[in-house]
């Protein structure tokens, strides 16, 4: 029997092969602290929320630090730095 060789393989590592929920929440909490708040713990209990866009996640910072655009601008570099660790 002859085996066909694939030209490429696509897989989803984050959340499929590796359980990264705690890492994602740690990054979001870190960004929350940068803007002077904390994440809503009740919101974090639902693990499906980890897949929401950054804008939606950051709306659950308490106290809410302002417009989403300004939050993302203030958090973008810290989020990227934290994720690269």
Any residues with CB less than 8 A from the CB of 50 and at least 6 apart, and which?
15, 21, 24, 25
**Cis? peptide before 65, omega within 30° of 0:** no
pTM higher than 0.75 for the full model? no
Write out pLDDT tens, residues 16-50: 788 888 888 998 888 888 888 899 999 999 988 98
Q: State what percent of residues in the chain have pLDDT above 90.
A: 12
Cα 34 to chain center, whole Å? Answer: 15
């Amino acid at each position: 029997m002859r085996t066909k060789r694939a030209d490429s393989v696509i897989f989803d590592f984050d959340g499929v092969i590796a359980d990264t929920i705690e890492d994602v929440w740690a990054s979001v909490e870190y960004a929350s602290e940068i803007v002077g708040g904390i994440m809503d713990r009740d919101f974090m209990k639902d693990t499906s929320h980890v897949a929401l866009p950054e804008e939606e996640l950051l709306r659950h910072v308490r106290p809410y630090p302002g417009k989403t655009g300004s939050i993302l601008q203030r958090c973008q570099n810290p989020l990227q730095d934290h994720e690269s660790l």
